[in-house]
Structures are given as structure tokens and as C-alpha cells.
């Protein structure tokens, strides 16, 4: 099948298309029903099928003769450690840890929160959950205790799995004290906490609650767990992502649809398959890490690289090229910001020449808009196609891409290429009418979305519907704006809501505003994302102080920066705050964030007719423009 044929079938007869792709997965009970839309707008894929995701990622390869193939290469640029696991070895570790979880009382359907750096134990913990039908929820290490506590309270885990520390280029980050603090803040109390001790900072364990990973594994190895049969529609994981408010959204991924989507997308989009060495330089705390560090490559039988380090500073801007050289990586997936960071340190790409990167066939970039300069630089220095792909935590896999395995096509800089089979992408105007090619609008996906996309929000069906499905009847609202060109190429121009993207990390300005509002001197505030040449966007806060506050604005600014760092985390990269006299509002009191954002980005934007006091905006204009 070529692209056009596959795409046409996937949208005109999705059941036939996905019935075929279901064959890529091993089932306990093969689904007879492919799609159940009886509960629309909720759609369920493969409702009568049963399977185990861990079985598909590990056991089946071992059973089918690939036991000695390398499944995972751990390369830690921050510690110098390197370790490889064959499929058989990874299976042994996963089955042992699954046994540990069962011994700690984790049952099918229970949640396990994983708060870990990029070490093999994080992957082992995820797959161990999948093995026993538990639902993992990985929380990115850069989040502070308060954010972790919110997620612990929402997911209500039976067990939390963590490590004593993570290692950033400039410092060792002690995870365990942050976890202890989060558990103090949370109302939910897990039955146990498992901690992987690392020599860079050993953690103090709490008697009666905390369990040492290595000690537990000693026991687990003599009591490994088998694969539990789960329904295709049972949840595999919950991954929290930033919405427009301070409460993150718990994206629910099911087992069956997800396994099929991973098994189809990895070879067809990324052009890699069993035996290939693949490297997604992301973090298991993000969706890219879930889909393409862990599940996609392993379900396909490939070798996945788990890299603990940065593109620069560990030790230099040649780190990525060293990893490609050493492990003979066929394709690399990272965020444009990582390439921009490398380009800044090594503009001529001279470090590329110090390594043999001849194994590399493709560079995939996603997570934020890929600007044509970065695209061109990477293509020129690496001499391989640079492929943009657009997706979201919600969709779990690309909505738009150049399909390198199915049918590589022309690459147009600035566009992630075409809609991926399964995603019926439409650009709509405010009234819900499809706009002609070249006209910008809200990028939407006609329901049903394909397998592997979000089933709902954890414990909150209503919020799922109100956030994504209620704006345009029958469509999923992506939250991104953009247009399609006459050749069907999509151009994604950015978020239309208050979600921002900082160095490929998705963050909520609403949650930053909630934190800033806690400061006793602040009357009101707005945080917007402003364009940044390195990180794509950076948050910038505008605060109005309460009348009568006499503190030095510089002190308040410092306090606010420290507050956001301690409440949300260093990853928020919140460093800029301006004290202003007033914020522009509508007559009904809504702060005109979009107008502020557009002015800050240097766009000509009309003043909304609903503005309460145009003078406030006029005063703010030079501040927004950084004049
Ligand atoms: N644990 C603890 N702290 C973390 C962390 C983690 N896992 N990840 C980041 N941080 C901290 C950083 O140390 C930094 O702290 P600082 O303010 O004290 O310097 C802060 O959070 C901001 O991090 P970041 O925005 O990543 O900036 P950086 O300057 O450290 O690194 C890049 C810049 C471009 C090298 C880095 O952001 C990067 O590699 N980005 C790619 C992102 C990515 O892969 N996204 C996934 C989508 S594919
Ligand atoms: P996340 O859920 O963290 O993956 O972030 C998803 C958001 O990142 C999307 O809604 C987009 O705003 C942005 N994004 C991801 N990939 C791309 C891309 N290739 N081009 C433009 N924006 C992107």
C-alpha cells in the first residue's frame, strides 16, 4: 500500500484498516469487534480483544528467537555508565520487578507512580506495571514536589517507584527528598515506596514504607510475575500533561489500541523495525519517551537507546554524534531545541566530523515547531533527511508526518508534511466550517480518532469532553492553529490556548499564574509565552501589586521566580517578571492574554472591541515589546 491508498482506507473504512493492523500484535483473544462507537463521543478500539502489552514488548521476541538481540542500550553521559540488556535479560528484570510490585500489593488496575531519572529501572518499572495490568503514571523528574503531589493525589497509586537522585550537568538532583515532600503535601498515602539507590546521593529510607530496589529485586528474582491478560480497553498508563489551568490533565492510554498504534507507527512513520538501533533522545517523563523510547521500538523488536545526558554540556556539543557513532544508531528522534542548543555551541558542526555517523539515516524532530533554519542546519551538517512530525501527549503518536517507512515524500521546510493514516485532519474556522487551503484555523481531527489516542482523562470524562470535544461537534480540538497547503501539507503555527512550549517541555501558564497569585503582594497577574531563539518559547510574567505594597519590585521579582521554581520546578524556566501598573482586560474582566502574546511576538494585532480600557494596553505595549 502506498501513502494515499493507506490514508484513504484509514479514513473511509477505519475498521478494515485497523483490523489488518491488529495483526501486528499478539493477542490472548483476537478482537472480533474492531470499533465500538455506541458510546460516542467515546470510541473504543478492539473492545472484545485481550492482550498484554509487556508480552508484546518482550516475551514474544524471546519466544520467537530474538532472546539474545539487544533490547536496550543504557548510555549515561553524566555518569559514564553504559549497559546493554538483551531481550531475555530485560524480560528477566521486568518479570522480577513485576513480582516485587505484586508482593507489595499491586493488583490489576492499581496505579503505580514512577518518578525517576533516565535509568533502565524506569523502563523496567513501566514494563513491569504493564505485565501485571497495573497502570503506570510517570512524572517527569524536573517537576517540584507540589506538582508531584497533585499527580499522586489524582492517580492514587498503591506504590511509588523512585530513585535517590538524578544527575543534571551542573548538579545532582536529590529526588527522594522531593518525593518525601510531595508525600507530605499529598493526602493520598501509597502502601510502599521503592527506591533505586544511586551512589551519587544515597537516600534515607523511611522505615516501614520505603523499600530498597536492589533488596526487593533479590527477592523478586525468585518470584517473577507472568503476563496478566487485560482487556484492550483497560488502561496501560496515565500521563499527566499541562492544560490551561493549574490542574494537569491525566491522559489515559489503553492497552490494545496503543499496542497496535505503536506496532504500526514505528515501522511506517519512522522506518525502523526489528533489529534496528533506534534512539529517541527524550525523557520517559514525556509522551515521546513512552511511545518511542519504550513501547514503539520494543513492540517492534528494535534496539532502543536510553540516554541519560543532554545534547550539550555532557561533555560537549558532540555528545549526540558520539552516541550515534558508538551504538551505530540508524535514526535519532529529538526536539528542535536540542539541535538549536548544539548549533549555538558548535555553529560549524565541526564536532560532527569527529565521529563516524554513517549509520544515521534519518533525524526526526518533534515536540515544538521546527523552524526552517534549524531544519536546514541539521540537514546540511548531518547529511540525512530531517523529518518534522507533529503530535501531542493526547494523541500518543504522530498526527502529521512524512511517512519514512510507508512512502517517503518531498519534505517542505516549516511543515510536518501530511496527515498520518488514521487521523482525519480538518482545519476549521470559528463556526466549525472547514476553511480552504492556505487559510489558518483551528486544527481538528474528525472523530473517531485512531487507536492509541487518548481514551479519556483519568477520572474525569466530563473534562475530556469539555476540553477537546465540545467546541466542534464530531471533532477533536487539538489546541493548535495552522493551515493546509494545496498539496495537503500541514503547517502548525502554534497553540491557540495558554499552553506554552519551553525547550520542548509543555507547560501551563495558568499553573504559573496560580503560583504567582499566592504571593501576598500580588493583586493580579498574567503569564504568557514569548518567542525565544533557543528554547522556542519562554514564560514571562506580568504582575500588578496590591495597592499599598511598598516592597522593592526587584525583591518581589526574585521571590516570584523562586516561588515558581519551588512550586512547579526548574523545568518551568520562569525567570522573567515585570511589575506593571495594570493588565488589559475585557469589559467582563478577562485578561487579554492572546493580545498580549501577539504584541510580545511583534505581530500587528487589532485591539479587541471588548477591551475595557485601551489606555492600559497602550501603556503596556512597549513593555511587551521589550522596549
Ligand atoms: N530533573 C531535574 N531538573 C531538570 C530536569 C530533570 N529531569 N530536566 C531539566 N531540569 C532543570 C535543568 O537543570 C534546568 O535547571 P536550571 O534552571 O537550574 O539550569 C531547568 O530544569 C530548565 O531545563 P531546560 O529547559 O531543559 O534547560 P537546559 O538549559 O538545562 O537545557 C536543552 C536546554 C535544550 C539542552 C534541553 O532543554 C533539552 O535537551 N531539550 C530537549 C527536550 C526534549 O527532549 N523534549 C522532549 C520532546 S521530544
Ligand atoms: P506535548 O503534549 O508535550 O507533546 O506537546 C504537544 C504540543 O507541542 C502540540 O500541541 C504543539 O503545540 C507542539 N508541537 C509538538 N510537535 C510539534 C511540531 N512538530 N510542530 C509544531 N508544534 C509541535
Return the closest-CA partner of residue 573 out of 538, 543, 526, 534.
538
The reported pLDDT for the residue numbered 582 is: 95
What pLDDT, on a 0 to 100 scale, did the predictor assign at position 245? 80
Taking the centre of ligand 2 as the mean of its atom positions, its distance from the CA of residue 457, in whole angstroms, is: 19
| Beta strand 277-280 pairing with 303-308 | parallel
Q: Which of 168, 281, 389 to mutate to test ligand 1, by most ligand atoms within 8 A of the CB atom? A: 168
Prior bond of 41 cis (ω within 30°)? yes
Ligand 2 atom 9, closest CA: 392
Cα 9–chain centre separation: 29
Q: Of 398, 368, 394, 601, nearest to 505 (Cα)?
A: 368
Give the nearest ligand 2 atom to 389 CA: 19
DSSP secondary structure string for all residues of 380-400: HHH-S-EEEEE--TTTSS-SE
Average pLDDT, the chain: 96
Which atom number of ligand 2 is nearest to the Cα of residue 287? 4
Supply the pLDDT for residue 53: 99
Supply the residue whose CA is at minimum distance from atom 45 of ligand 1: 504
- 572 half-sphere exposure, CB direction, 13 A CA radius: 31
Whole-number Å distance, alpha carbon 392 to ligand 2 midpoint, is 5
User: What is the distance in A from the centroid of ligand 1 to the CA of 571?
Assistant: 6
User: What is the signed CA dihedral for 444, 449, 454, 456, rounded to 10 degrees?
Assistant: 90
Atom of ligand 1 nearest to the CA of 340: 34
| pTM of this structure | 0.97
Q: What is the pLDDT of residues 513-569, one digit of tens each?
A: 999 999 999 999 999 999 999 999 999 999 999 999 988 999 999 999 999 999 999
Query: Cα of 504 to ligand 2 centre, how many Å?
Result: 8
DSSP-derived secondary structure for 293-321:
IIIHHHHHT-EEEEEES-SSSSS-TTHHH
**Residue 626: its pLDDT value, please?**
82
40 DSSP β-pair partners:
none
pLDDT of residue 396: 98
Classify each residue of 427-445 as buried b or exposed e, where b means 16 or more C-beta atoms within 10 Å of its C-beta: bbeeeeeeeeeeeebbbbb
Distance 406 CA to ligand 1 centre (A): 33
Read off the pLDDT of residues 56-75 as tens digits, 9 standing for 90 and up: 999 999 999 999 999 999 99
Per-residue DSSP letters for 549-560? --S-HHHHHHHH
Are 284 and 123 spatial neighbours (Cβ–Cβ below 8 Å)?
Answer: yes
Nearest-CA residue for ligand 2 atom 13 is 368
The verdict on the CB of residue 122 being under 6 Å from ligand 1 is no
The dihedral sign for the CA sequence 591, 597, 600, 605: negative
Biggest CA–CA distance in the chain, Å, is: 75
pLDDT tens digits for range 105-145:
999 999 999 999 999 999 999 999 999 999 999 999 999 99
- For the CA atoms of 522, 178, 120, 262, what is the dihedral angle to 10 degrees? -40
Q: Work out the number of other CB atoms within 10 angstroms of the CB of residue 86.
A: 18
Q: Report which protein residue has its CA nearest ligand 2's atom 21.
A: 369
Q: Which ligand is nearest to the CA of 571?
A: 1
Confidence of residue 219 (pLDDT cuts 50, 70, 90): confident
Instruction: Give the pairing of strands 70-76 and 303-308.
Output: parallel
Q: How far is the first Cα of the chain from the last one, in angstroms, to the nearest whole number?
A: 55
CA dist 69 to 119, 281, 326, 372, 501, Å?
A: 20, 21, 17, 38, 37
DSSP 202-219: PPPPPTTTEEEHHHHHHH
Distance in Å, CA 262 to ligand 1 centroid: 27
pLDDT tens profile 380-439: 999 999 999 999 999 999 999 999 999 999 999 999 999 999 999 999 999 999 999 999
pLDDT over 90 at 220, yes or no: no
Contact 400, 492 (CB under 8 A): yes
> Whole-angstrom Cα distance, residue 116 to residue 193?
12
Fold of 3-309+389-446: Rossmann fold (3.40.50)
pLDDT of residue 103: 96
Pairing of strands 576-579, 536-545: parallel
Ligand 2 atom nearest 393 alpha carbon: 2
Cβ < 6 A, ligand 2 pocket: 241, 286-287, 366-370, 388-393, 416, 479-480, 492, 495, 501, 506
Return the CATH class of domain 502-624: alpha beta
Q: Are 542 and 580 contacting, i.e. CB atoms less than 8 angstroms apart?
A: yes
* Cell numbers standing for residue 565: 521554581
Among the listed residues 51, 22, 49, 26, the one whose alpha carbon sits nearest the alpha carbon of residue 36? 49
Q: What is the pLDDT of residue 272?
A: 98
pLDDT digits (tens, 9 = 90+) for 155-198: 999 999 999 999 999 899 999 999 999 999 999 999 999 999 99
Q: Which three cell numbers stand for residue 582?
A: 495594570
Torsion on CA atoms 18, 19, 22, 24, rounded to nearest 10: -90
Residue 369 Cα, ligand 2 centroid: separation in angstroms? 7
Question: Pairing state of beta strands 303-308 and 171-174?
Answer: unpaired
pLDDT at 604 over 90: no
Q: How far does residue 579's CA lie from ligand 2's centre (Å)?
A: 31
- What is the predicted pLDDT for the residue at 76? 98
Helix ranges, 446-572 (H): 461-464, 509-517, 553-567
Q: Read off the pLDDT of residues 15-41 as tens digits, 9 standing for 90 and up.
A: 999 999 999 999 999 999 999 999 999
Domain ranges across the chain: 3-309+389-446, 502-624
pLDDT in tens, 437-493: 999 999 999 999 999 999 999 999 999 999 999 999 999 999 999 999 999 999 999
Amino acid at each position: 500500500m502506498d501513502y494515499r491508498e493507506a490514508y484513504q482506507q484509514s479514513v473511509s473504512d477505519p475498521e478494515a484498516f485497523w483490523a489488518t493492523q491488529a495483526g501486528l500484535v499478539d493477542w490472548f483473544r483476537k478482537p472480533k469487534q474492531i470499533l465500538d462507537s455506541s458510546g460516542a463521543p467515546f470510541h473504543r478500539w478492539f473492545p472484545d480483544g485481550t492482550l498484554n502489552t509487556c508480552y508484546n514488548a518482550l516475551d514474544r521476541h524471546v519466544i520467537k528467537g530474538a532472546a539474545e538481540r539487544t533490547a536496550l542500550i543504557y548510555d549515561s553521559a553524566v555518569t559514564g555508565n553504559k549497559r546493554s540488556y538483551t531481550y531475555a535479560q530485560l524480560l528477566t528484570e521486568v518479570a522480577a520487578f513485576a513480582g516485587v510490585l505484586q508482593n507489595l500489593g499491586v493488583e490489576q488496575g492499581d496505579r503505580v507512580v514512577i518518578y525517576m531519572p533516565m535509568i533502565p529501572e524506569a523502563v523496567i518499572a513501566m514494563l513491569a506495571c504493564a505485565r501485571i495490568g497495573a497502570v503506570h503514571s510517570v512524572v517527569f523528574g524536573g517537576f517540584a514536589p507540589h506538582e508531584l503531589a497533585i499527580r499522586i493525589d489524582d492517580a492514587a497509586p498503591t506504590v511509588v517507584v523512585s530513585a535517590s537522585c538524578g544527575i543534571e550537568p551542573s548538579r545532582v538532583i536529590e529526588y527522594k527528598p522531593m518525593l518525601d515532600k510531595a508525600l507530605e503535601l499529598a493526602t493520598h498515602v501509597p502502601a510502599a515506596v521503592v527506591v533505586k539507590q544511586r551512589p551519587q546521593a544515597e537516600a534515607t529510607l523511611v522505615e516501614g514504607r520505603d523499600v530498597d530496589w536492589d533488596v526487593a529485586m533479590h527477592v523478586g528474582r525468585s518470584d517473577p510475575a507472568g503476563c496478566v491478560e487485560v482487556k484492550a480497553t483497560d488502561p496501560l498508563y496515565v500521563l499527566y500533561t499541562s492544560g490551561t489551568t493549574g490542574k494537569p490533565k491525566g491522559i489515559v492510554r489503553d492497552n490494545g489500541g496503543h499496542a497496535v498504534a505503536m506496532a504500526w507507527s514505528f515501522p511506517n512513520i519512522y522506518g525502523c523495525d526489528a533489529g534496528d538501533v533506534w534512539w529517541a533522545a527524550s525523557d520517559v517523563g514525556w509522551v515521546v519517551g513512552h511511545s518511542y523510547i519504550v513501547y514503539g521500538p520494543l513492540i517492534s523488536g528494535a534496539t532502543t537507546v536510553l540516554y541519560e545526558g543532554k545534547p550539550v554540556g555532557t561533555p560537549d556539543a558532540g555528545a549526540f554524534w558520539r552516541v550515534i557513532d558508538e551504538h551505530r544508531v540508524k535514526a535519532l528522534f529529538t526536539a528542535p531545541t536540542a539541535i538549536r542548543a548544539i548549533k549555538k555551541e558548535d555553529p560549524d558542526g565541526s564536532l560532527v566530523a569527529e565521529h563516524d555517523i554513517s549509520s544515521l539515516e534519518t533525524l526526526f524532530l518533534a515536540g515544538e515547531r521546527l523552524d526552517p533554519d534549524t531544519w536546514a542546519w541539521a540537514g546540511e551538517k548531518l547529511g540525512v533527511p530531517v523529518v518534522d512530525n507533529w503530535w501531542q501527549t493526547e494523541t500518543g503518536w504522530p498526527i502529521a508526518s512524512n511517512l519514512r517507512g510507508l512512502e517517503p515524500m518531498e519534505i517542505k521546510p516549516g511543515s510536518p508534511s501530511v496527515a498520518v493514516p488514521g487521523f482525519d485532519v480538518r482545519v476549521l474556522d470559528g463556526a466549525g466550517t472547514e476553511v480552504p487551503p492556505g487559510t489558518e484555523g483551528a486544527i481538528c481531527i474528525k472523530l473517531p480518532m485512531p487507536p492509541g489516542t487518548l481514551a479519556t482523562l483519568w477520572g474525569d470524562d466530563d473534562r475530556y469532553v469539555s476540553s477537546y470535544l465540545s467546541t466542534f461537534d464530531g471533532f477533536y480540538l487539538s489546541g493548535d492553529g495552522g493551515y493546509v497547503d494545496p498539496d495537503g501539507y500541514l503547517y502548525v503555527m502554534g497553540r491557540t490556548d495558554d499552553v506554552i512550549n519551553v525547550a520542548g517541555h509543555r507547560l501551563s501558564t495558568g499553573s504559573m499564574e496560580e503560583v504567582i497569585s499566592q504571593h501576598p503582594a500580588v493583586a493580579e497577574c498574567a503569564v504568557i509565552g514569548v518567542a525565544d531563539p533557543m528554547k522556542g518559547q519562554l514564560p514571562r510574567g506580568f504582575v500588578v501589586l496590591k495597592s499599598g505594597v511598598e516592597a522593592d519590585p526587584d525583591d518581589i521579582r526574585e521571590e516570584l521566580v523562586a516561588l515558581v521554581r519551588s512550586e512547579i520546578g526548574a523545568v518551568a524556566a520562569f525567570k522573567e517578571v515585570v511589575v506593571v501598573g495594570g493588565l488589559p482586560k475585557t469589559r467582563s474582566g478577562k485578561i487579554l492574554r492572546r493580545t498580549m502574546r501577539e504584541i510580545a511576538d511583534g505581530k500587528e494585532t487589532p485591539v479587541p472591541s471588548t477591551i475595557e480600557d485601551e489606555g492600559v494596553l497602550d501603556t503596556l505595549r512597549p513593555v511587551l515589546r521589550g522596549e
